């Protein structure tokens, strides 16, 4: 990253993401999502990026899951993409918004039928007695929607991370890594470098 690669971090993200799609063997859209409870207890898990637009980075989930409840109670999050094959990572911090019903409906309709059934069947993040209980719920909703469209559950939607800070990290020899950070202010994005 000699010089500033781009004045727009979303353009820089797209460039790196396209490279990752060509080099990563599995799920180049996998990202660690860090959330926190209202009192600040953090948790992190890997989710999949399902959309990016000028406003931010979109993923979908059960709103009643642990992450859904944490994001509702404390609407801020961090994302981290790590592309080992490229020796790169991108960190994104920002506020959260729920996507529109139209966006959630469109994405939900694009999912495989079994995934849509799974959204109804899984009481995500709640205790599960055994796998048979899950299989039973899958069978129940498969039968319920056997001859019908599968509507989006009212408890299932998406979140958009509205970035305020985006850092691009490139591995370099002797741990003298290259770190380029963009910060969003009143007049748009500013870019600078950080010591490794």
What CA–CA distance (Å, rounded) separates 14 from 54? 11
Evaluated on CA atoms 189, 72, 154, 145, the torsion sign reads positive
Q: 175 catalytic, yes or no? A: yes
Annotated catalytic residue, options 22, 76, 152, 175: 175
Contact status, residue 69 vs residue 124, Cβ threshold 8 Å:
no
What CA–CA distance (Å, rounded) separates 170 from 183? 18
Q: Are strands 51-53 and 76-83 parallel, antiparallel or unpaired?
A: unpaired
The single residue listed with the structure tokens 């961090």 is 78
In 126-194, which ranges are continuous DSSP H helix?
Answer: 131-144
The catalytic site residues sit at: 175
């Amino acid at each position: 990253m000699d010089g500033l690669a781009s004045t727009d971090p979303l353009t820089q993200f797209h460039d790196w993401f396209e490279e990752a799609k060509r080099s990563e063997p599995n799920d180049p859209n996998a990202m660690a999502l860090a959330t926190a409870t209202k009192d600040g207890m953090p948790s992190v898990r890997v989710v999949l990026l399902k959309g990016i637009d000028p406003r931010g980075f979109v993923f979908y989930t059960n709103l009643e899951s642990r992450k859904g409840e944490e994001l509702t109670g404390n609407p801020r999050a961090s994302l981290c993409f790590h592309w080992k094959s490229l020796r790169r990572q991108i960190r994104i911090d920002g506020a959260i918004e729920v996507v529109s019903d139209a966006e959630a409906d469109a994405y939900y309709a694009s999912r495989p039928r079994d995934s849509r059934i799974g959204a109804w069947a899984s009481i995500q993040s709640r205790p599960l007695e055994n796998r048979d209980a899950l299989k039973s719920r899958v069978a129940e909703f498969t039968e319920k929607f056997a001859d019908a469209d599968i509507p989006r559950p009212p408890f299932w939607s998406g979140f958009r991370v509205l970035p305020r800070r985006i850092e691009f990290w490139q591995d370099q020899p002797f741990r003298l890594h290259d770190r380029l950070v963009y910060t969003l202010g009143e007049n748009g994005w500013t870019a600078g470098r950080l010591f490794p």
